[in-house]
Amino acid sequence: KAGVTQTPRYLIKTRGQQVTLSCSPISGHRSVSWYQQTPGQGLQFLFEYFSETQRNKGNFPGRFSGRQFSNSRSEMNVSTLELGDSALYLCASSLGTSGDFDTYNEQFFGPGTRLTVL
Amino acid sequence: KNEVEQSPQNLTAQEGEFITINCSYSVGISALHWLQQHPGGGIVSLFMLSSGKKKHGRLIATINIQEKHSSLHITASHPRDSAVYICAVKKLVFGQGTRLTINP
């Protein structure tokens, strides 16, 4: 069974540009969560989608948005990029109805997209 | 004060040593997850715990819900165990990670 895939794996952008990242969950998984990881802040939750609906959102500005398609694939978009958006962006899928670590649903992570903003 | 505190933040040990990583949390939880992140970024889920103790190979995880504390132990540590270990208790709440380096 294929794992969670993310594209692209590496991306270099300049300030002010926008970027779209893609995540394909494990077949059958309907919950997709996105995380940002930086050396200073560690792992931070961005948002979670289930059945094309955003169910939870972390504390990030409106420049960060996402969506989920009917086949459960998800995209996240960052507009007007800032230097501080340089990070590893990870997505995770879950078989359960919730992507919350407060449940007994294992999260399966993708390899991440490393975004560098110059 | 963070809702989840991990200790130590960095740990260097020799191959074969017994390793303990601690996670203390202040929020009420139903489950706690231990994650492992290798250099390069990929994260894998090691354990999901709601009570007691779990064992996978050389890894053991324990949790005390009353004391709001969990530990991850590695027996007979090996250089391939070198990674960052993260405890997660809720969607928004993660430990800052423990960077473990095992020297041969």
Residue segments in chain A with a per-residue pLDDT below the cut of 70: 1, 96-104
pLDDT of residue B91: 66
Report how far residue A29's alpha carbon sits from residue A37's, in angstroms, rounded to the nearest whole number. Answer: 23
pLDDT of residue B41: 75
Q: Is the pLDDT of residue B52 over 80?
A: yes
| A107, closest residue in chain B (CA to CA) | B45
B41·A104 Cβ contact <8 A: no
B41·A88 Cβ contact <8 A: yes
Mutating which of B91, B94, B96, B99 best tests the A interface, going by the most A Cβ atoms within 10 A? B91
pLDDT band of B86, cuts 50, 70, 90: very high
pLDDT of residue A84: 95
A100·B90 Cβ contact <8 A: yes
Residue A69, chain B, CB below 8 Å: the answer is no
Q: Is the pLDDT of residue B54 over 80?
A: yes
Task: Give me the mean pLDDT over the B50-66 stretch.
Answer: 94
Rounded to the nearest angstrom, the minimum Cα separation between A79 and chain B is: 23
More confident residue, A97 or B59: B59
pLDDT of residue A81: 97
- Cβ neighbours of A107 in B, within 8 Å: 33, 45
More confident residue, B95 or A8: A8
pLDDT band of B94, cuts 50, 70, 90: confident
CA-angle at A111, arms to A29 and B13, nearest 5°: 120
pLDDT of residue B58: 97
pLDDT of residue B92: 67
Residue A40, chain B, CB below 8 Å: the answer is no
Residue A112, chain B, CB below 8 Å: the answer is yes
Residue A55 CA neighbour count, 13 Å, CB half: 15
CA dist B42 to A110, B2, B24, Å?
A: 7, 24, 24
